[in-house]
Amino acid sequence: MNNYKLTIQYDGNRYKGWQRLGDSDSTIQGKIEKAISVLTGEAIEIIGSSRTDAGVHALHQVANVKIAQPLTTERMMSFLNHYLPPDISVIQVEQVDERFHARFHATDKTYVYKIWNREYSQPFLRKYSMHVVKPLDVLKIKEAAAHFIGEHDFTAYANAKSKKKDSVRTIYSLDLVEQDGMLELRVTGNGFLYNMVRKIVGTLIAAGLGEIQPDHIPAIIASKDRAQTGGMADAEGLYLEHIRFKE
Amino acid sequence: MNNYKLTIQYDGNRYKGWQRLGDSDSTIQGKIEKAISVLTGEAIEIIGSSRTDAGVHALHQVANVKIAQPLTTERMMSFLNHYLPPDISVIQVEQVDERFHARFHATDKTYVYKIWNREYSQPFLRKYSMHVVKPLDVLKIKEAAAHFIGEHDFTAYANAKSKKKDSVRTIYSLDLVEQDGMLELRVTGNGFLYNMVRKIVGTLIAAGLGEIQPDHIPAIIASKDRAQTGGMADAEGLYLEHIRFKE
């Protein structure tokens, strides 16, 4: 079998997330699988590195797909970009070792979260960021962010629906950059539970608004109590930015 | 009368342009006038520096409005941004001399045009740039752009519907910056005829595709013949960026 690695960018607004559901037109995975099936005539399945949630965007999602017939990467890229709607783009296609698995071989992932912090809205990013009207204290957010770094049991930050038995994850970095009213939070970890990034951002916003004291965060994490974490940030501010794989 | 200068940002996609039409819900001027009328109870008219066309965006449109009752700029800004939809933002309100007129006192205007030049689409800017799939020759575009600088009779670049008697305009600068597939054309002039910027960009794209030779452009301008200029670039790539006023 020929194994292809696809790097994919998408605007998540119109979709119910990455993972295929019954109706293939409502998910990114479904859309791309349909395009590859039309191209090859084969029944295929694509494996995404990250199952982004409804409304979440990707700058560099990675997926792999195995196909019986050999196709040039140029042909594949050209066909997919003609077939797919303009809110999903395949920005790179590479032929890779047959053993490469986009989910199992991912070692760490980086997400970006954008917060627009002015009284007025940002017309061009209104569907690509979360609008927080009240002023955020950037130093408080940075102070709060530091408490998430390292290995923790993130049960308090898991979705109630999460079926994962092991909620221990390691966050390598969680940085904030602010420019002209736009806050960008960038988090890298070895994996994230369902809704975990948006729940962490929810806590950071609460810290920036003075509703949660940063030094209370270790206790929130230790509590393993979902009720203590505050709100969950909106989906449209979240971007899957980068995935690293083991060599 | 109290005279207020408003700096306005908008995503033009949903609107039939700046200028008020019968149905006030379809234009930016109509939307803002309605908001100010609700706030003040006065029958007012706002004067925009530039009548941007259907689908065209603004980063810094400027308008002025005269109101009988004195209002603080904070109150005005806060009310308007609560009342207006999130694709129109009032980013600054200043009280100015009663003689200030946003259209008559504008001395020069800068527009930006964004062209996405990759085979695949750019999901996040698909409604905020023009997608040109074939590769553009950046040097040819720069060579072509130089021919537009200076004072010219731009009849060939006017819309057939234009009623302006005088088609002489001066372009001070027309620059191109390219980064990672995104081309930004930035043009500054003392004024532009209806559709003139989009028609100039149409010629520049034709030059970049090798369909028009740059050194033929002086003859196209001199011909005053609209049929020679090639196509008109899409509205959604165009942004009113900046307006300067006489001191």
State the pLDDT at residue B247: 73
pLDDT digits (tens, 9 = 90+) for A37-57: 999 999 999 999 999 999 999
* Separation CA A146–CA A135 (nearest Å): 21
A91–chain B Cβ distance below 8 A for any pair: yes
Beta strand spans in chain A (E): 2-10, 46-48, 57-67, 88-96, 106-116, 130-131, 150-153, 168-179, 182-189, 238-245
CB atoms within 10 A of CB A161: 7
| Summary count for chain B: helices (H), strands (E) | 5, 10
Q: Is the pLDDT of residue B173 over 70?
A: yes
B78–chain A Cβ distance below 8 A for any pair: yes
pLDDT digits (tens, 9 = 90+) for B26-40: 999 999 999 999 999
Here the ipTM equals 0.91
Tell me the fold of A2-96.
Answer: Alpha-Beta Plaits (3.30.70)
Q: Which residue is listed with tokens 């050194």?
A: B215
DSSP result, A208-224: HTTSS-GGGHHHHHHHT
> What residue segments make up the domains of chain B, in order of their start?
2-96, 108-245
Which residue, among A80, A121, A133, A238, would best test binding to B if mutated, counting the most B CBs under 10 Å from its CB?
A121
SS3 A155: helix
Tell me the fold of A108-245.
Answer: Alpha-Beta Plaits (3.30.70)
Q: Report whether A237 contacts A114 (CB < 8 A).
A: yes
User: Model-level pTM?
Assistant: 0.93
B124–chain A Cβ distance below 8 A for any pair: yes
Q: A114: distance to nearest CA of chain B, Å? A: 14
Which tokens sit at B199? 């028609």
Pick from A58-67, A220-229, B64-73: least confident: A220-229
State the pLDDT at residue A226: 87
Average pLDDT over chain B, rounded to an integer: 95
Q: Report whether A12 contacts A56 (CB < 8 A).
A: yes
Query: Is A2-96's fold the same as A108-245's?
Result: yes
CB–CB of B119 and A78 under 8 A? yes
CB–CB of B123 and A86 under 8 A? yes
User: Angle, nearest 10°, between helix axes A196-208 and A138-146?
Assistant: 130
Which H or E run includes B4? strand B2-10
Q: Which of the two residues, A3 and A166, has the higher pLDDT score? A: A3
* Separation CA B13–CA B194 (nearest Å): 18
CB–CB of B11 and A119 under 8 A? no
